[in-house]
Structure 1
């Protein structure tokens, strides 16, 4: 049983939850102008994790025939036999049901939007077969987290949360684009659409930089529109430095891509959340 849990943890890359969790809490703290309560904290965590589990497991299920031919992914539990296709389907269904039920218990709007959110989360895995805009779809998948957080607290979508969503969208699309540099040869061989495989590595890096410029612009608009203060602008400045460092690592050596992807982006969301908390307290 413990081994099976480890296999599913590896399947959905559980540690990657660090990318979306801080931003749903930033949205909830900003919407409430402070602490939003333990009930929404627990519901927010469960909703985020179940949505991620659904999205990642669906991606692994849909991409089995591609992952088995990619040296970087051929040892995943979804392709080496540790988790069966039927096991993945059950896991996908269970997490979808959990996500919808959490939405039902929060408020009616959360329940209604849970269904289109699941469609968006599943769409990413299929888009790479016919368009290089799959990077933006992945960004939207994580960008919907703060929108869902705001709806959980307020029951509607204020403008500032849209700016926060767009910032997350371009942030995720930008670093996913850099991460996909590792798979250029494989994507070309399999006929998969990604910006690096279509436009080449150097243009992909340039597009990623443009995406991250948009990230800073939209997060700045979020801070301004939400009437947040100095400490959030300091957090924004640190985020800009972190993204600059990420691009420096990748430009210096493509072997630094995992470090840039996991370490820099993992800390970025946490730091932004910490400064959001400090801003609202002080």
Structure 2
């Protein structure tokens, strides 16, 4: 009989497609790339799609370049997978000491470090092929993100703000959508980028509260540990800053009313997260963290409608 820890991981949705449909030999690799937990690539994808939609609105186009949206989707899935494998390789000893992460393929012994490195290289190659489809300026911008990606896994050992490092890396797509369409950068994507960093600090703090007690025992640092019982006021600040910066980006790009309506709806959704958060309930933390996919859809829908109305 197969042991539970070899058939799933602690924070995956039960009955996900990886558990149900993939061959047994492929499952550990899919889990290591987090294909059973799509929220990560959604959160990496949203700054790309927001930026693409904002650039289209700025340029007077009715819709973002569909090919760019497809490329960003493929790239987000591949690079999120590569980033997670890199993180798992670096953190394999720490992951073995934390209840939620010890079931991951490397610390549980399902995949060797050597095979993990090979799989990482394969996904990074997919990401490179995707990046090379864009213009030269966007390619340079994309390569510039690699330093932040490389540094991130080590931050939890040296600072209480690893969520800031994640935001710097995960928000890079805010530059990419604009650069891919327009071949430059301006104030609007910079403001969008900084807003995405604030948003990331917020949602990843919620996520980190799942591991707060284990992290304390093994010495892993996080904003969840730093904020503690003051998490809700801090989330209000970071989510409020994100909304303000997104609004400033919209002003800089000259968007219309529909974009601000979408932003207002997203702000209500973020407020709901803060109000209903219980930092001592890991299941609630995970659910609210995952709900940021919906934040992305709300904001993206407002930008798409605005671009369509502006071009009409």
Alpha-carbon distance in structure 1 between the residues aligned to 2:227 and 2:247: 31
Cross-structure match for 1:70 = 98
Work out whether 1:175 is the aligned partner of 2:199.
Answer: no
Give, in angstroms, the shift of residue 120 of structure 1.
1.1
Superposed CA offset, 1:54-99 (max 9, x none): 2111111111111111111111122212222112111222222332
Give, in angstroms, the shift of residue 6 of structure 1.
3.2
- Cα 1:89–1:165 change in 2 (3 A) is same
Cross-structure match for 1:186 = 214
Alpha-carbon distance in structure 1 between the residues aligned to 2:306 and 2:254: 11
Cross-structure match for 1:7 = 28
Alpha-carbon distance in structure 2 between the residues aligned to 1:151 and 1:137: 22
- Cα 1:3–1:157 change in 2 (3 A) is farther
Please report the TM-score for the alignment, with normalisation by the length of structure 2. 0.83
Pairing 1:26-105 to 2, within 5 Å after superposition: 26-32=50-56, 33-105=61-133
Work out whether 1:245 is the aligned partner of 2:269.
Answer: no
Equivalent pair of 1:47/1:99 in contact (CA under 8 Å): yes
Paired residue for 1:203, among 227, 230, 233?
Answer: 230
SS in 1 for 2:62: coil
Alpha-carbon distance in structure 2 between the residues aligned to 1:253 and 1:127: 24
Work out whether 1:126 is the aligned partner of 2:147.
Answer: no
Aligned residues: 280
Give, in angstroms, the shift of residue 200 of structure 1.
4.8
Equivalent pair of 2:148/2:169 in contact (CA under 8 Å): yes
Equivalent pair of 2:62/2:307 in contact (CA under 8 Å): yes
Paired residue for 2:289, among 245, 261, 273?
Answer: 261
Equivalent pair of 1:48/1:145 in contact (CA under 8 Å): no
Alpha-carbon distance in structure 2 between the residues aligned to 1:210 and 1:147: 24
Paired residue for 1:21, among 24, 34, 45?
Answer: 45
Give, in angstroms, the shift of residue 28 of structure 1.
1.2
Superposed CA offset, 1:132-155 (max 9, x none): 121011112221112112111111
Give, in angstroms, the shift of residue 2 of structure 1.
2.8
Give, in angstroms, the shift of residue 218 of structure 1.
0.5
Structure 1 residues not aligned, in runs of 5+: none
Alpha-carbon distance in structure 2 between the residues aligned to 1:160 and 1:148: 12
Please report the TM-score for the alignment, with normalisation by the length of structure 1. 0.91
Work out whether 1:214 is the aligned partner of 2:211.
Answer: no
Alpha-carbon distance in structure 1 between the residues aligned to 2:79 and 2:145: 9
The RMSD of aligned alpha carbons is 1.9
Give, in angstroms, the shift of residue 196 of structure 1.
2.9
Superposed CA offset, 1:175-227 (max 9, x none): 11122122222222222221233x35113333222111111111111111111
Equivalent pair of 2:91/2:153 in contact (CA under 8 Å): yes
Cross-structure match for 1:280 = 307
Pairing 1:105-144 to 2, within 5 Å after superposition: 105-144=133-172
SS in 2 for 1:2: coil
